Amino acid sequence: MLSVKKSLYLGLVAIGAASCSNNQNQSHEGKKDILVSNMDTTVNPANDFFEYANGGWLKNNPIPDDQKSWGIAHLVDEDLYERKKVINEDALKKPNDATSQKIANFWKSGMDTVAINKNGIEPLRPELNEIDAIQTKADVLKVVADLKKKGIEAMFDDGVAQDEMNSEKMVFNLGQGGLGLPNRDYYFNNDERTKKIREAYPAHIEKMFMLAGLASAGNSKQISNDIMKLETTLAKASRKLEDLRDPYKNYNKYAVSNLKSITPDIDWNSWLPLLNVKGIDTVIVGQPEFFKAVNAALKTESIDTWKNYLKWCLLNSTASYLNADIENANFAFYDQLLNGTKAQKPRWKRILDTEEGAIGEALGQLFVKEYFNEKAKKRYSDMVEDIRGALKDRIKNLTWMSEVTKQKALVKLEKMKKKVGYPDKWKDFSAMEIKDQPYVRNVIAANEWWHNYSVNKLGKPVDRDEWDMTPQTYNAYYNPSNNEIVLPAGIFTVPGMRDEDLDDALVYGYAAASTIGHEITHGFDDQGRQYDENGNLRNWWTKEDEIQFNNRAALIIRQFNGYIPVDSMHINGNATQGENIADLGGILLGWDAFTKKEQYKKGESINGLTPGQRFFMGYSLGWLYNIRKESMAKQLLTDVHSPAKYRVNGPFSDVDAFYKVYNVKQGDGMFIADSLRVKIW
């Protein structure tokens, strides 16, 4: 389980204007001030701080047609795209080692649209023949295993991770999955937007089968209806987004021999070795009721339905790597209809996006040499310790927590590991079979490498030094099983700015609060608090303290349930509570740490903004972006993160320092009565 800070691409760039008092400027006079440039001073910050801090940028930066949202991560990526393109083109001209040869092969196969269009779905013929050869339910399961090894998800989800009850052990997990729509709610919700998508889905399946030559006009509709019926059965047995947040309810250990109690018609002792999973005697089942439904569907659905479903899983998973007609139809449904994206990215960017997932860490080695030096790494490593110290003080001063729980919380905080910038050791991709072959086969080869890399962890010591993101990623995460925060170099990037030109107020809002404090707080949110200092799922709280925490968390659930970002759709306060708690905690910790810095103590303004104002605007900078309504609606149904505007206005309304800095009073849009403000950490 990874608790990721930024799930959407967010935004910034310096456009717009705001008045500034020249006699208040420091040495920053004459330099571009991204905070001032993004402002909309016609908005009262006490009414809507997000629009006040970001409105100038929002007005001047419409979302490009090939994007569902637009903002800071895209601008970071724009720089990275150009640099990665040069790396790929240079590798193609003159590969100087095995890794660059793989990069060259991947790039060449993806850019060769003539061959891709000529080949159609023929590169998938081995898998299609395997599906066509199915005669029994045992054959169905055998093909499911083969597809999973190749990165084609079908029927259910599976994977290798640390045992949440014993973080020193890697275990095999089984969970709900197998759906072609984003999650269960798309099969049942009756709001107009979701109904439109659900009603369009069978027609999309039908069209894709026809384009691939896998169905005729006479049987395509029946095929799509059968697939929709099967997926709806799986969706009905799937848990809702908020119900997946309880780690205890989603942790059910079974001996492999006892899995027959929920799936009597699946021989797991025979099936797991087909996945190269060997030598294990137990598995973790997230949602046992889902697997009962899978077992029932195996008995009731026809062989032909299962064969067509598996063809759909194969086609749907690989559509972006096939000929133009199939790729465009896939884009029309999943990007245009679901996310409102108007046009595809240029092909070379799409190839780089795929390459990032396949062999991105190899590119990361080149990135950090150029763009994240030791001075930057030290700045943010020291900042982690500033934030750790701030939370230590807050825990000690809590009035609602008992001393015994406080001491355990402090132990966990002290043991929390930090990973900053890039890994100390890099993965070895030498066995990845990226060669002169069709693009989709190279993607499958990369998937197979990652599958084998994952299952080979079983029975071996946990590698606590491994990273699950590349250094150039604009994101970060807290891993409860390792009790660690992981902060890739890319997350600290402000496009167009050098790190040394960023004042502490901006950085302590943008990085210390929005990222570092956020991730550290995840160790103590509604989910993270349930793991101990060693990463084990274990209750270390007194019953009274647990009740106190839940009562305080209920306030943030209530607060966010009240926000309506699009149409009549509310934020799901329960599903998003962990991220909302982390946002609030990050702001408080970032503020506490910043008040100890020289810039805050001096109190001097820069371009008309006080240190306190620059801190809150720096935080808002990390959540500055535009998003399409369609994508917003999808986010509300599928994402545990609140939309960006509410990740600014929501937690700021609970922060006493914000009220003082911006003189927020009763009657202002940001005002919440003190008795209703969320106070946890």
> Mean per-residue pLDDT for 100-120?
96
Token pair of 612 as six digits: 């306190």
Residues 417 and 473 in one domain: yes
Question: What is the domain range of residue 533?
Answer: 3-80+351-454+463-676
Q: Is residue 232 part of a domain?
A: yes
Structure-token match 């149904």, residue found: 637
Same domain, 487 and 400: yes
Mean pLDDT over residues 298-309, rounded?
A: 97
Asked whether 197 and 186 are in contact (CB, 8 A), the reply is yes
Do 355 and 317 lie in one domain? The reply is no
Those residues whose C-beta lies under 8 Å from the C-beta of residue 129, and which sit 6 or more positions away, are none
| pLDDT at residue 104, rounded to an integer | 94
Same domain? For 653 and 568 the reply is: yes
Percent of the chain topping pLDDT 70: 95
Instruction: Tell me the C-alpha distance between 616 and 662, whole Å.
Output: 10
Residue 391 tokens, joined: 């939370």
CB atoms within 10 A of CB 172: 21
pLDDT higher than threshold 90 for residue 627: yes
* pLDDT mean over 580-607: 97
Task: Identify whether residues 182 and 281 lie together within a single domain.
Answer: yes
Average pLDDT over residues 636-656: 97
Domain assignment of residue 327, yes or no: no
Would you say residue 565 lies in a domain?
Answer: yes
Query: Are 545 and 486 members of one domain?
Result: yes
Tell me how many degrees the CA angle 73-240-285 measures, rounded to the nearest 5: 100
Query: Is 196 a domain residue?
Result: yes
Split into its structural domains, the chain has a count of: 2
What is the C-alpha to C-alpha distance for residues 674 and 554, in angstroms, rounded to an integer?
15
The per-residue pLDDT for 99 is 87
- Indicate whether 522 belongs to any domain: yes
- How confident is the model over 51-65, as a mean pLDDT? 95
pLDDT attached to residue 499:
85
Q: Residues 11, 149: one domain? A: no
Does the pLDDT of residue 120 top 80, yes or no? yes
In a domain, 100, yes or no: no
Quickly state the pLDDT bin for 10 (edges 50, 70, 90): very low
Rounded to 5 degrees, φ, ψ at 252 are: -130, 105
Question: Sheet harboring 166-175: ordered strands across?
Answer: 157-163, 166-175, 282-285, 252-255
Q: Is the pLDDT of residue 197 over 60?
A: yes
> How far are the Cα atoms of 555, 595, 601 from residue 615, in angstroms, in the given order?
25, 10, 13
Residues 361-409: tens digit of each pLDDT: 988 887 787 778 888 899 999 999 999 999 999 999 999 999 999 999 9
- Please list, in sequence order, all residues whose beta carbon lies within 8 angstroms of the beta carbon of residue 628, skipping any fewer than 6 positions away: 63, 68, 69, 339, 340, 341
* Ramachandran quadrant class, 639 (left: phi over 0; alpha: psi -120 to 50; beta: rest): beta
Mean pLDDT, residues 81-98 taken together: 89
| Whether residues 186 and 49 fall in one domain | no
Residue pair 435/105 in contact (Cβ under 8 Å)? The answer is: yes
Q: What ranges in 150-215 are assigned the alpha helix state H? A: 192-211
pLDDT of the residue at 3: 40
Residue-level pLDDT at 369 = 77
Task: Name the least confident of 81-85, 173-177, 187-191, 522-526.
Answer: 81-85
4 vs 583, more confident: 583
Rounded-to-integer distance, Cα 81 and Cα 86, Å: 9
If you average pLDDT over residues 628-657, what whole number do you get?
96
State the sign of the Cα–Cα–Cα–Cα dihedral 627, 630, 633, 638.
negative
Q: How far apart are CA 336 and CA 343, in angstroms?
A: 8
Residues 180 and 316 in one domain: yes
In a domain, 87, yes or no: no
Residue 57 sits in a domain whose CATH number is 3.40.390.10
Cα(668)–Cα(617) distance, integer angstroms: 18
- The per-residue pLDDT for 296 is 98
pLDDT tier, 486 (very low <50, low <70, confident <90, very high otherwise)? very high
Question: For residue 248, is it within any domain?
Answer: yes
SS3 189: coil
Task: Give the mean pLDDT of the chain.
Answer: 93
One domain, residues 395 and 477: yes
Half-sphere exposure of 20 (CA within 13 A, CB side): 25
Sign (positive/negative) of CA torsion 176, 180, 181, 182? Answer: positive
Q: How far is Cα 659 from Cα 109, in angstroms, rounded to an integer?
A: 56
Q: What is the CATH number of the domain that holds 250?
A: 1.10.1380.10
CA distances from 654 to 414, 579, 587, 657, 659 (A): 27, 15, 10, 9, 9
Q: Given 321, 339, 371, which residue is the final one in a domain?
A: 321
For residue 583, the SS3 value is helix
Give the integer Cα–Cα distance in Å for 676 and 65.
41
DSSP class per residue in 522-574: HTTSTTGGGB-TTS-B---S-HHHHHHHHHHHHHHHHHHHT---BTTBPP-TT
| pLDDT value, residue 151 | 97
Q: What is the pLDDT of residue 8?
A: 33
Same domain as 386, residue 254: no
Let me know if 529 is exposed, middle or buried by CB neighbors in 10 A (0-12, 13-18, 19+).
buried
Same domain, 663 and 542: yes
Amino acid 31: pLDDT: 65
